[in-house]
Structures are given as structure tokens and as C-alpha cells.
Structure 1
């Protein structure tokens, strides 16, 4: 051991003085070490007094079976099946929902069957609402899952409606389930009147029903005018539209858009003036701009679609009803207007909670989120989903679609982000690497969940149900289902190559 040397040696120091000085230095060091040990013992004693019974001696506890040994612990190797070892690792995987529902597929880790039913989960207190959000890049399997929910939900008595099928993909599943498809487009005979009163609930009286129908019609017309004009409708125009609707209802039991346009351009001189107007000329001037905007639906490129009495009837007994608007073209700027009309027509027939539990699917929902009026309608349905017995299903490519609409702080941005907050079930399929961060922030994903998003296999998704941690679920399709949910058949030279599928396609 090397002896410590003094830093400073006084000149002329004798041997005895040097020895005395070194002994004094050693004494100081021993005293410092002893002081530190006393302080450590004092702190340990205080800890034992604060938490009695938690201090374990370094040599182990003095009791039988305390595993105190001076040898290294060595255990013999043991080999067993995973079924046997499962009992030794009880908390390694998600235990499942343990509730009845539609069989979706299996847990990717435990291989256990995975069942889902938003109404069952809501009744059990697992969910705060039955709304569902499905996000995934093209070809990841999100559309196949949405169609499977509708198909398998029929066995549980759930009906389904698709108010705007922009690609025509839902027609095969509607035919397979015994439902119906309403096709809208230029040259087609079908007409939908968005001002239809809809089906009246049995427990609603005449005054209440008249007020509700009038409010719904005014809301639709206001949204159409704002979409066409690109700006909010002012108060005088709002009053003029209300007066035109009242006059059209008085002259016709079920008005259509041309009736409202006529009364905006030429108010009924026999009817009393609304409050705030001094002459019919002033009322006509206030309704001129809204009249010209609504006239584009009557005389413009959408003429013959939503400007006449309905040629079809909403049948609530059908297991599924879809409205095919693919003939308009996906890039048609008038597509949001048609979707607003079809959504209003469908919504008018869905407000009766006695009709049971129903799915409402908004495929390609990002198109709707671009329009403020449509986003407001979606928010209404999301908020009233429990009262109406609806499970709204929004299908998008990525979660950033909700944050990419409108300016920061705008109403449109707030509505879009609010839809995510009002959706208790979030299902995320494979995401591109540049979308992972935004998705993780929007859904509050953990680090391990975030790492999985860009590596998920086709047909496998991360399910966030309520406040539960994410569960990796592989969606399984039966051969009979594949024929109606496959959206890639046009890309294959061999239509039979998916004869025995193992996971979802689409």
C-alpha cells in the first residue's frame, strides 16, 4: 500500500517532528471516516424507525427458507410447453375484453379470439360512447374491417347505413346482406329530396315534430348556402331563408328546393312580413343572394339529383342501405354538396331510437372534414350517438387528416379534433413512418405502441378501446366474405388468388 506523502514539508523538520505530524494527519482521517460511518448509521436507524419491518439484513432474513447461502444459486433447466408455462407468466399479455360480440379475429400475442361490439362495451361501462375511428394507409385493411363490422353485425341485429359511397365499394356488401343501394348521378332516375320530413318517432307530438322538421331544414339550407358562398350567412339572409321555407311549407306539404328558391326570389305577398322587414321588396333583396346560391342545385350541374320529390323511400327494415354517389366522380367539387343532402336525408330517418342499434359509416371521412357545414353535421351525430342508438364509424387514411383542416384555432380545426376526442374506440392500421409521430400524439400512444405502427402487417391493427392499453388484433376473413370486401381485385390478374385468406384484405 502506498503511503500518502505530505504536500508540504517544513524545512529543518526533525525525524520525531515528522513522525508526530504524520500521526496527527492519520488521526484526522480516521476521525473523518468514523464520522461518516456514524452519520450513515444514524440515517439507517431513522429509516428503520420510519418504516419498521422493511429492513432486510445483508446476510438475509433469519427464518426457514430464506434462501441464505454462501454459494451461488443454481437451478436445473426446465422444459415445458407454452400451455404449461402460461400459468407461470400470468401478466404477460392482454387478458381480453371477456364480453360477447362480433368475432373480429385473434389477438396477435395470445392467439385468443377477439370479439367487439360497441353497444355491449358501452353497456358494460368500458366505453363512454359507441363511436369508432379506423385509420390506416392504403392497402392496410381498414376498409375490409369496416365492411366486416357491418356484415357480422347483422347477426346481432345491427343495421347499417352508408350515406355517401364515393367509390361504389359498398354496393356488393349491400347486395350480399339483402340490403339496397340508392345510386345518384347524372342521367340516373333516382331523386332524393333533402327537405323530406323523415320518419316521425311515435312519442313525438305534432307541435314538437313541426319544430324539429323546420329546424332541420333550416340547418341544411344554411349549410348549403355557406358551402356554396364560401362564407357565413348573415342574419338578414337567415331570416329571408326561414320565411321562404315557411311559405314553401304552407303552399306544399313537402317542399323541394325549387319551391324555396322561388319564394326567395319572389316572396308571397299574402304572407305577413318577418320581424325586422318593412316591405316585401326588402325581403326579396335579402333573399336574392341565398336564392342564387341554392339555384345552382336546381339549374346547375347537380340539376335532377336533389331538386325533386324523392323517388325512393327510406326502409328502416333493411339490414343495410347505401347511397352510391360514385357516378359524380371523386374529384367533383360538388361532391360535398351531394353528401350534405344525402346525409340530411338519411339523418331524417335515423332520429327514432326505437329502430335499434345502427352503424353509420363515413368512408373517406377526410372529404367531409374539409367542409365546415358537414363537419358540424358530423359533430351533431357524434354527440347524439347514444341518444339515437348510433355507432358512427369514420374511416380515414391517417390521423393527421383531422389536424390538417382549417387554420389553427379555427372552428373547422376544433370540430375535426373534437371528433377524435368523442370517439372511444380508435383502431390504427399500418402508418407511414412520417405519420407515426402525429398519430401517437393524437391518440396518446405509449412508446411500445408507437414503435409498432409502421411495422404492422396487413390486416393487423392496434385497437385502443376506451382507456385500455392498445391490443394488437389480426383481422380474419372467411372466404365468402373476401368476395365482397376485397378492394384490390382489379389489381390482380388472377381473381382466385385469395381463395383461402388468412388475414383481411382491402
Structure 2
């Protein structure tokens, strides 16, 4: 270089890079380089390596971009690293696109504030708070009244099967053992018979118990009982389990009419945070029932849509804390599998979340372990946050990872350190960092970014002193501002 300040340059700084859509920067064409990450979906954060913005959600990547074959995602990461934050960001962006988000079982109350900020419905359930009747036809019953002919019969048959499955799952939870096939068949028949009785209200589990005790001929024939004594002996184990739901500690929750139905025209969160973590039986039972209720309501809406009686809607289901259900009882993996397998056919985008592969692979039954792995394998995309090195082999058997990808995930799992100047605990190094995997493609490492306004809705440590720190962000304050900011990029 010659002239003032000229001379030999031993190091050349990288030029400043700018990013924009083709419409925004059309005057700069031809572009130097194309976008390195997909720009379709809810904006989540920036690529840690390139700095490029990543827009991503399972519905957009399935429906609009055709990048995945199934509109679902599975998130694995240690506690406190931002799993729920990703789900909440997606809920806001999808709400802007008219997609209704449902959180059918928020065990920590992490989605309550956001749902209210979106003018959604919050249902609170727990000991002494609300109730769920597993025999209530619910939205399926309401939809069936509007249908005619074979469409109505088909929906009522589906409702009967779902209620039978739900009661069987509750029995598995209270027993801590799987229900037998004969018992489940008997339950299904008893529920059919109960539907033929005009009670003037939805039937309760207490009514089901009384029907089985009365022993109509249809039930006696199924047990092959030749006299009263044989019938009593055949149904005694089933009745004993049902009585735990009718008169035991779960009665106030499951042997009463449903206190509040789901509204499918706005976001919904069922807040279970009032259930103590020590009450694992109640928590698992309520969580699974809420999941079943949500899928049943969406199925009913889909039937009405097909008949031209309701506007078509897509839904985003956040199935958080999967491990709580899987550990609640034997055979529940099958129940979850039945609920979630047909999400694509009825317009559901789905997000399942748990802490580690150990939640899936530590189940006592080998068959259950294989089915639990299928939840991840069938997901269109997988979000991997910080996980310990000990899990890498098990994780790699489910989601193929390169050596560098595994090292990244392990680095993000390092515990937080102490700031020497302040003496306070610093944020975990892996907070907000995720590796986004879609099929066998290389993962996209991202750092999710919260605006200052989103902190109020995303702080899941409100009872602790170490608040979530936000660096380099500004903007407006308050929940409504947070919703507007996140929607702006969707």
C-alpha cells in the first residue's frame, strides 16, 4: 500500500458481514455467499460457528421447507440449560402463524405466564384443585353430536376405545404393574354397557365400579364364570384397582366431573405445579390423562374439519417432562406410543422433552426401552443440549453424532463456575446452546438468544437468587412486549 498510512500489511482483518433477505438487500446482488442455515420457521438464535441466524420449528420444516419427514422434535439436555425456553419461543412464533399451542401437563408452571400473555387458557389441576373424569366423552362427545351416520358411529367407537385405554393406564399406575389383556377387554365392554345407561350426566368411575359389581350377563360371559362366586373371583383384582381411583387418594381428581374443558381456539396450558414432586403416582396419572385429553380433543376437531363443520387448524403440542410418565408405571410406554404415533395424520406438530437418554434406557423392560428409543428415532428433528460424556455411546446409538458434535455436547454439560470478582455463580456454559439434528445431516450448533423483555416469561428459577442473565440484548419490558418481539421474527 502506498500513500499516507501505507506500508506492508501483515494481518488483514475480516470484513464486516451483513445478513438480509433477497428483498432487503436486492441492490447488492450478486450476493457473496448464500445463507448457511435454514431461514424458515421461528427464529431461535445464531449458529455458533458462522453467526448465521437459524429459524426452525417442526411444523415449518415439515410443511413449508420439506426438510423433515415428521412434524416432531425431541429435546435432550441436563436441567437448567434451556429446554423449556426453546419450546416457549416456538409457541410465540407459531401463535403468530395461527397455530394453536397446547401444553397438556406443565409440571413446573413454566408455561403459565406465557400462555396468559398470549390470551390463552390456563387450567390448574392438583390436590384439591380441579378434576378430570377419564370416562367423560369430552370434545369427542360434543363433536359426535354434530356428526351423522358412519362418521358419528366411528367417532363414538374411537371415544370408547380411548376411554378404555385411559382407565387401563390409570390402573397400571396405581398397581405399579401392567393390566392384563382379559381385564382390558372387560373394561372396554363395561364402558360400552355404561354408555347405554342414561344417567343424565357423564358416567364416573364409581358408576363403572357399580356396573362391574352388578355383573350383567355380557360381563359374566366374558369371564366364563359359571356362578356368582367365580365371577366375583374373576373381577376382584380389577375392582380392587378401580377402588383405588374411586375411594383412594386419587378419588378427588378422577372420580368427579371434569372441572374445565380445553379450548382449541387459543393456547392452552394445564398447570400441574401444585402437585408435590413426592406424589409421583398422582403426578404420573394426571399427566398421562391430560395428554390423552389433548389428543382426543384434537382428534375430535379433525373429524369436524373433515366434515366441513369446523375451520382447519394445526396444533403444537409440548409434551414436557416425558420421564415422569415413563417412570410412573409398567406398560406406560405403550400408552404414550399409542397417543403420539399418528400426529402427522391429524395436523399436530409435537415437541417431547426429557433430561437424558437414561430416562429412556433405564426402564426395567427391554421392550419398553426399545419403544422409548423410538420416540427419538421417529422425531423429525432432535435438539441436543449439554449431556455428560457417560451418555455419549448410548446417545450415538440413537442419534448418529460425529466426534466433534459429541465433544460440543459434553463441553456444554460442564457445571457453572464461580466469578472471582463477585463470588457469585456464573451461568452454566451450556445454557441456551443446542445442536439441532435433522436426520443424518450434520448438526447445527446454535446459541438461543433472549431479549430483555423475554426474561420475565422465561425465568424458571424465580425462587432462586441466580436469575437468568441476558447479555447484549435490549428492548422493551414486560410480558406483552416479549410476545411482540418474538412474534416479529416468526
Question: Aligning the two structures, in what range does the TM-score lie when normalised by the shorter sequence?
Answer: 0.7 to 0.9
Taking a change above 3 Å as real, the CA distance of residues 280 and 129 of structure 1, as seen in their structure-2 partners, is farther
Instruction: Tell me which residue corresponds to 1:388.
Output: 346
Of residues 166, 175, 194 in structure 2, which corresponds to 1:229? Answer: 175
Residue 475 of structure 1 deviates from its aligned partner by 0.6
Instruction: Tell me which residue corresponds to 1:262.
Output: 210
Instruction: Tell me which residue corresponds to 1:129.
Output: 70
Q: Does 1:356 align with 2:332?
A: no
Instruction: Tell me which residue corresponds to 1:397.
Output: 355
Taking a change above 3 Å as real, the CA distance of residues 191 and 94 of structure 1, as seen in their structure-2 partners, is same
Of residues 180, 183, 190 in structure 2, which corresponds to 1:244? Answer: 190
DSSP-derived class of the 2:297 partner: coil
Of residues 295, 301, 312 in structure 1, which corresponds to 2:243? Answer: 295
Residue 240 of structure 1 deviates from its aligned partner by 3.0
Instruction: Tell me which residue corresponds to 2:450.
Output: 477
Of residues 412, 425, 433 in structure 1, which corresponds to 2:368? Answer: 412
Instruction: Tell me which residue corresponds to 1:71.
Output: none
Structure 2 CA distance for aligned equivalents of residues 484 and 280 of structure 1: 62
Structure 1 CA distance for aligned equivalents of residues 372 and 468 of structure 2: 40
Residue 280 of structure 1 deviates from its aligned partner by 6.8
Structure 2 CA distance for aligned equivalents of residues 475 and 84 of structure 1: 20
Instruction: Tell me which residue corresponds to 1:161.
Output: 102
Structure 2 CA distance for aligned equivalents of residues 305 and 84 of structure 1: 58
DSSP-derived class of the 1:205 partner: helix
Q: Does 1:368 align with 2:325?
A: yes
Residue 372 of structure 1 deviates from its aligned partner by 4.0
Residue 101 of structure 2 contacts residue 268 of structure 2 at CA under 8 Å; is this kept in 1?
yes
Question: Matches of residues 426-465 of structure 1 in structure 2 within 5 Å?
Answer: 426-456=382-412, 457-465=430-438
Instruction: Tell me which residue corresponds to 1:379.
Output: 337
DSSP-derived class of the 1:388 partner: coil
Instruction: Tell me which residue corresponds to 1:492.
Output: 465
Q: Give the paired residue count.
A: 420
Instruction: Tell me which residue corresponds to 2:423.
Output: none
Q: CA offsets, 1:414-437, max 9 Å, x none?
A: 211111111121111122233334
Structure 2 CA distance for aligned equivalents of residues 472 and 185 of structure 1: 38
Of residues 172, 193, 202 in structure 1, which corresponds to 2:133? Answer: 193
Structure 2 CA distance for aligned equivalents of residues 288 and 194 of structure 1: 21
Taking a change above 3 Å as real, the CA distance of residues 496 and 120 of structure 1, as seen in their structure-2 partners, is closer
Residue 76 of structure 2 contacts residue 384 of structure 2 at CA under 8 Å; is this kept in 1?
yes
Structure 2 CA distance for aligned equivalents of residues 496 and 245 of structure 1: 50
Residue 482 of structure 1 contacts residue 501 of structure 1 at CA under 8 Å; is this kept in 2?
no
DSSP-derived class of the 1:228 partner: helix
Structure 1 segments unaligned to the other structure (5+ residues) = 1-75
Provide the aligned C-alpha RMSD in A.
3.1
Q: CA offsets, 1:296-339, max 9 Å, x none?
A: 11211112111111121221112x21222222211213121222
Structure 2 CA distance for aligned equivalents of residues 489 and 84 of structure 1: 38
Q: Does 1:111 align with 2:51?
A: yes
Q: CA offsets, 1:71-117, max 9 Å, x none?
A: xxxxx978363458999xx99x981124x211111112222221013
Of residues 235, 258, 283 in structure 2, which corresponds to 1:310? Answer: 258
Which has the greater radius of gyration? 1
TM-score normalised according to structure 2 size: 0.78
Residue 68 of structure 2 contacts residue 438 of structure 2 at CA under 8 Å; is this kept in 1?
yes
466-475 vs 233-242, which deviates more?
A: 233-242
Structure 2 segments unaligned to the other structure (5+ residues) = 1-8, 20-28, 306-311, 413-429, 475-481, 483-490
Q: Does 1:120 align with 2:67?
A: no
DSSP-derived class of the 1:140 partner: coil
Taking a change above 3 Å as real, the CA distance of residues 185 and 120 of structure 1, as seen in their structure-2 partners, is closer
Residue 306 of structure 1 contacts residue 341 of structure 1 at CA under 8 Å; is this kept in 2?
no
Q: Does 1:81 align with 2:14?
A: yes
Residue 382 of structure 1 contacts residue 422 of structure 1 at CA under 8 Å; is this kept in 2?
no
Residue 227 of structure 1 deviates from its aligned partner by 2.7
Structure 2 CA distance for aligned equivalents of residues 283 and 162 of structure 1: 42
Residue 336 of structure 1 contacts residue 367 of structure 1 at CA under 8 Å; is this kept in 2?
yes
Structure 2 CA distance for aligned equivalents of residues 324 and 297 of structure 1: 21
Q: CA offsets, 1:277-304, max 9 Å, x none?
A: 3557244432221111011112111121
DSSP-derived class of the 1:297 partner: helix
Of residues 37, 42, 66 in structure 2, which corresponds to 1:102? Answer: 42
Structure 2 CA distance for aligned equivalents of residues 290 and 463 of structure 1: 46
